[in-house]
């Protein structure tokens, strides 16, 4: 483009000038964007190549440390730490490799891996992470400590059991489960957040898979968090803790309907017919869901007499409950006074078997 033609730009209409400026601006922006993508890609490739090489060096060093009797452990450990562990990225890669080794090896090798963990300064690195405020660093540190079964001072972990981030709370629980031999579920005592369903599943799996001594779950049936009580009720059933049946019956008076529902279902599963007296007494004041649960408890562990006592407490508007009642009553003797409940016009075509049953009972009544 000649200077004359550039001078001619002055005579261009304003809109064309704006167009030209914007075109140049977006061209430069596009080129910068492409350059940024290329730069990031190159950086990522370099980082991955560095990581791959460092992992090979680590594996090689670990293997010598574990299996080479001629290896001068103390000297080589210091040398490796000085030459290779320089940035926090190096530490993170080294920690990951230690975890992989620990996961696959046991016996003397596992002990030697822990020596490496301390010797390379990885313990101190993670301890510093645990003291920081970044939740993901704290969670990562707890994960590594729990996987390796290494204990850290309690005052560093306890506040994290009450952390706002559920992921961090979960890691703190995992840590407690993995490292506490005497009281693996002791963290429930200081928990002031509800346990999510996912956390409940995760704790149960830990109890089954980690070979932990199962505690007496009756201890937490008075916990102020409903989810903890619900979880403990489930565990009482899972681990057949029949000694807690009286506590479970007491839970039928719990202020939270969800807790009562769990207690009803669990007592049903454990065939505790003694609990039916309280269930039927509470029936008029229960939520529709719990009323249904009580009906099915009677179905499994009760008698026609138990069922009969409930008739006056099922209103004609509670159609679903009536259906359940008919269904259960059909399994007992025909002495159930269902005619007092039946409101034929509300029985829909969707439930023909109950409709016919209701009609039959009406005719017989």
Applying CB under 8 A, the residues found at the interface with other proteins are: 59-60, 62-64, 66-68, 97, 100-110
Query: Which of 212, 217, 140 shows the shortest CA–CA distance to 176?
Result: 212
Is the CB of 12 or the CB of 67 nearer to other proteins? 67
Is the CB of 76 or the CB of 216 nearer to other proteins? 76
Is the CB of 55 or the CB of 250 nearer to other proteins? 55
268 close to 296: Cβ distance less than 8 angstroms: yes
Q: Shortest distance, CB of residue 307 to other proteins, whole angstroms?
A: 44
Is the CB of 103 or the CB of 353 nearer to other proteins? 103
Q: Shortest distance, CB of residue 161 to other proteins, whole angstroms?
A: 28
CA contacts within 13 A on the Cβ side of 207: 21
Is the CB of 30 or the CB of 104 nearer to other proteins? 104
In angstroms, rounded to a whole number, what is the distance separating the alpha carbons of residues 78 and 311? 80
In angstroms, rounded to a whole number, what is the distance separating the alpha carbons of residues 342 and 131? 66
130 close to 158: Cβ distance less than 8 angstroms: no
137 close to 166: Cβ distance less than 8 angstroms: no
In angstroms, rounded to a whole number, what is the distance separating the alpha carbons of residues 68 and 109? 12
Q: Shortest distance, CB of residue 111 to other proteins, whole angstroms?
A: 11
- Please report how the helices 88-104 and 122-131 are oriented relative to each other, as an axis angle in degrees rounded to 10: 110
Q: Shortest distance, CB of residue 76 to other proteins, whole angstroms?
A: 15
224 close to 191: Cβ distance less than 8 angstroms: no
CA contacts within 13 A on the Cβ side of 209: 8
Q: Shortest distance, CB of residue 122 to other proteins, whole angstroms?
A: 16
Rounded to 5°, angle at Cα 59 from 54 and 64: 125
Is the CB of 60 or the CB of 271 nearer to other proteins? 60
Q: Shortest distance, CB of residue 95 to other proteins, whole angstroms?
A: 14
Task: For the chain, state the CA radius of gyration.
Answer: 34
Other CB atoms within 10 A of residue 190 CB? 11
83's CB contacts (< 8 A; 6+ apart) are none
Q: Shortest distance, CB of residue 115 to other proteins, whole angstroms?
A: 15
Q: Shortest distance, CB of residue 178 to other proteins, whole angstroms?
A: 15
Q: Shortest distance, CB of residue 54 to other proteins, whole angstroms?
A: 13
Is the CB of 111 or the CB of 333 nearer to other proteins? 111
Is the CB of 147 or the CB of 313 nearer to other proteins? 147
DSSP characters over 218-258: GGGTT-SSHHHHHHHHHHHHHTT-GGGHHHHHHHTT-S-HH
In angstroms, rounded to a whole number, what is the distance separating the alpha carbons of residues 187 and 176? 7
275 close to 250: Cβ distance less than 8 angstroms: no
In angstroms, rounded to a whole number, what is the distance separating the alpha carbons of residues 158 and 130? 12
Q: Shortest distance, CB of residue 101 to other proteins, whole angstroms?
A: 6
Is the CB of 115 or the CB of 189 nearer to other proteins? 115
Is the CB of 105 or the CB of 258 nearer to other proteins? 105
């Amino acid at each position: 483009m000649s200077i004359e033609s550039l001078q001619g730009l002055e005579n261009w209409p304003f809109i064309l000038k704006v167009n030209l400026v914007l075109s140049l601006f977006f061209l430069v922006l596009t080129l910068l964007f492409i350059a940024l993508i290329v730069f990031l890609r190159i950086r990522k490739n370099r980082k991955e190549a560095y990581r791959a090489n460092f992992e090979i060096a680590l594996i090689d060093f670990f293997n010598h440390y574990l299996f080479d009797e001629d290896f001068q452990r103390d000297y080589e450990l210091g040398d490796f730490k000085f030459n290779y562990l320089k940035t926090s990225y190096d530490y993170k890669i080294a920690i990951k490799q230690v975890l992989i080794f620990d996961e696959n090896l046991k016996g003397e090798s596992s002990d030697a891996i822990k020596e490496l963990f301390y010797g390379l300064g990885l313990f101190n690195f993670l301890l510093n992470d645990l003291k920081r405020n970044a939740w993901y660093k704290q969670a990562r540190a707890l994960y590594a400590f729990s996987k390796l079964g290494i204990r850290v001072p309690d005052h560093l972990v306890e506040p994290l059991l009450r952390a706002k981030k559920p992921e961090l709370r979960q890691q703190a629980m995992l840590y407690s489960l993995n490292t506490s031999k005497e009281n693996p579920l002791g963290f429930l005592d200081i928990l002031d957040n509800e346990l999510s369903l996912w956390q409940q599943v995760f704790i149960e799996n830990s109890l089954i898979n980690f070979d932990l001594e199962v505690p007496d779950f009756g201890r937490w049936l008075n916990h102020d968090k409903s989810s903890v009580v619900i979880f403990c009720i489930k565990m009482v059933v899972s681990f057949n803790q029949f000694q807690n049946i009286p506590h479970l019956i007491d839970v039928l008076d719990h202020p939270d309907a969800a807790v009562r529902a769990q207690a009803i279902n669990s007592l049903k599963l454990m065939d505790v017919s003694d609990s039916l007296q309280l269930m039927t007494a509470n029936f008029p004041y229960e939520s529709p869901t719990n009323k249904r649960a009580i009906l099915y408890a009677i179905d499994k562990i009760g008698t026609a007499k138990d069922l009969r006592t409930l008739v006056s407490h099922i209103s004609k508007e509670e159609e679903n409950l009536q259906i359940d009642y008919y269904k259960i009553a059909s399994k007992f003797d025909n002495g159930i006074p269902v005619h007092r409940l039946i409101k034929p016009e509300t029985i829909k075509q969707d439930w023909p078997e109950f409709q016919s049953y209701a009609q039959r009972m009406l005719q017989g009544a």
